[in-house]
């Protein structure tokens, strides 16, 4: 089956059927990001693509946002992102027609290997994100401080996104199987055989992966000193969605790490929300090498 990889995937039959209910009403797309098990960057990339779709198809985006056990109020949303979109739960007025983003075709079809090789899509979504869903000034300042700390502007950097063990152990449907450390090592060896880098910048939320890379690269490895989890215990992983210890500040640290990753001179990783976000923020300035291990069924 051919994978849809463009943004014009509106369900025309749905809108044709719904037209008699719409009439002259204002069309809204309710972007439901209240699934607490989703990570912050997964929520960000989903909001980004859904709001892009909404404006392209003459809908006004509304965002209903929750992170883990944190109900994000309207005055708290800008602690994460800046937006002029309305923030509210589903409540249609007499002159409004609201369509739920969960009734759109799956976004998993869009974030595929073709996306990472499409400069036009990356550049367009980068421009859109800066205009409609940019990161706030506090986050940008922390990014600037770390860019200076790691001397990103004075070094050639190979950025590696290594998604943690919970992805592979939970085997969530439609999620891509993430490359192991061994698979990443092989790709790094292949890349560095023809290009020289001053150091490897590693982005991961998994302490095990940090330790594995330390043993392999030691002096050439750099990463942010943020709190991470150890996902080697399968019992812990299976309860991660019920009781997750990382608070909102820890999640924001991860966002900062991904923004730093996007400043690398070369990007390597599997297909996941962090890598998608890094590619969009990089704005097609650097080569991107994704390891496509197919999705869990």
pLDDT (tens digit per residue) in 87-129: 877 666 778 888 888 877 766 678 888 999 999 999 999 999 9
Question: 135-291 has which CATH code?
Answer: 3.40.50.11350
DSSP states of the chain as a string?
-PPP-SS----HHHHHHHHHHHTTPEEEEEEEE--TTS-HHHHHHHHHHHHHHHHHTT-EEEEEEEETTEE--TTTGGGTB---SEE--S---TTEEEEEGGGSPPGGGTSSHHHHT-HHHHHHHHHHHHHHSPBPHHHHHHHHHHHHHTTGGGS-EEEEE---HHHHHHT-TTPBPPPPHHHHHHHHHHHHTT---SEEEEE-SBHHHHHHHHHHHGGGEE------B----HHHHHTTTTS----HHHHHHHHHHHHHHTTSSEEEEESSHHHHHHHHHHTT-S-EEEE---B--
Q: Quick check: 197 and 265 in contact, CB under 8 A?
A: yes
How much is the pLDDT for 53?
87
| Domain definitions of the chain by residue range | 12-108, 135-291
In this prediction, what percent of the chain has a pLDDT beyond 90?
39
How much is the pLDDT for 259?
95
Average pLDDT per consecutive 10 residues, the chain (297 residues; last block may be shorter):
38 50 76 71 88 88 72 62 79 78 75 90 94 88 91 94 75 84 97 96 91 94 84 49 54 88 97 94 96 87
How much is the pLDDT for 81?
80
How much is the pLDDT for 35?
63
Mean pLDDT, the chain, integer = 81
Question: What does the pLDDT look like over 32-56, one tens digit per residue?
Answer: 776 655 678 888 898 899 899 889 8
How much is the pLDDT for 160?
98
């Amino acid at each position: 089956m051919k994978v849809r990889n463009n943004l014009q995937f509106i369900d025309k039959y749905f809108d044709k059927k719904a037209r008699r209910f719409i009439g002259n009403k204002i069309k809204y797309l309710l972007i439901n990001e209240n699934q607490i098990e989703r990570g912050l960057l997964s929520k960000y990339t989903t909001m980004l693509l859904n709001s892009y779709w909404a404006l392209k198809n003459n809908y006004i985006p509304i965002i209903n946002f929750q992170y883990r056990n944190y109900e994000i109020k309207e005055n708290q949303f800008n602690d994460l992102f800046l937006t002029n979109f309305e923030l509210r739960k589903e409540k249609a007025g007499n002159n409004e027609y609201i369509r739920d983003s969960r009734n759109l075709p799956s976004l998993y079809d869009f974030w595929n290997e073709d996306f990472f090789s499409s400069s036009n899509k990356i550049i367009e979504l980068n421009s859109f994100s800066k205009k409609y869903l940019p990161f706030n000034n506090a986050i940008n300042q922390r990014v600037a401080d770390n860019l200076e700390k790691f001397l990103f502007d004075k070094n050639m950097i190979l950025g590696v996104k290594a998604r943690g063990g919970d992805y592979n152990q939970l085997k969530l449907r439609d999620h891509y199987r993430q490359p192991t450390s061994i698979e990443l090592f092989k790709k790094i060896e292949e890349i560095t055989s023809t290009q020289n880098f001053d150091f490897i910048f590693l982005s991961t939320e998994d302490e095990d992966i940090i330790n594995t890379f330390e043993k392999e690269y030691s002096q050439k490895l750099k990463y942010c000193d943020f709190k991470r989890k150890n996902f080697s215990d399968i019992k812990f992983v299976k309860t991660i969605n019920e009781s997750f210890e990382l608070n909102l500040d820890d999640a924001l640290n991860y966002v900062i790490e991904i923004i730093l990753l996007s400043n690398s001179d070369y990007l390597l990783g599997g297909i996941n929300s962090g890598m998608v976000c890094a590619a969009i923020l990089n704005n097609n300035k650097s080569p991107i090498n994704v390891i496509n291990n197919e999705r869990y069924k």
